[in-house]
Structure 1
Amino acid sequence: MLFDTHVHLNVSQFDEDREEVIVRAREAGVEYMVIVGFDHETIPKAIELAETYDHIYAAVGWHPVDAVDMTDKELDWLEELASHPKVVALGEMGLDYHWDKSPKDVQKEVFRKQIRLAKKVNLPIIIHNREAPEDIITILREENASKVGGIMHCYNDSADYVGDCLDMNFYISLGGPVTFKNATMPKEVAKIVPEDRLLIETDCPFLAPHPNRGKRNEPAFVKLVAEKIAELRDVEFSELSRQTTENAKRLFQII
Structure 2
Amino acid sequence: MSSHHRHRAVLVADGTRPRLSGELARLEPVVAQHLDVVGHVLDLADGMIPDEAELVVVFGGDGTMLRTAHLMGERQLPVLGVNLGKLGFLAHIRPEQLATALPTICNHEARVVDHLMFDCSLMRGGKVVETELGLNEASVLAGPPFSLIEVQLYVDAELATTYSCDGLIVSTPVGSTAHSLSAGGPILRKDLQAFVISPISPHTLTNRPVVDSAERIYELAVPEPNEGTTLIVDGRPLANIRSGDRVRIARSKATFKLLGIPDRGYYRTLREKLGWGGQLREEPPHS
TM range (shorter): under 0.3
TM-score, length-normalised on structure 1?
A: 0.27
Larger radius of gyration: 2
Report the structure, 1 or 2, having the larger strand content.
Answer: 2
TM-score, length-normalised on structure 2?
A: 0.25
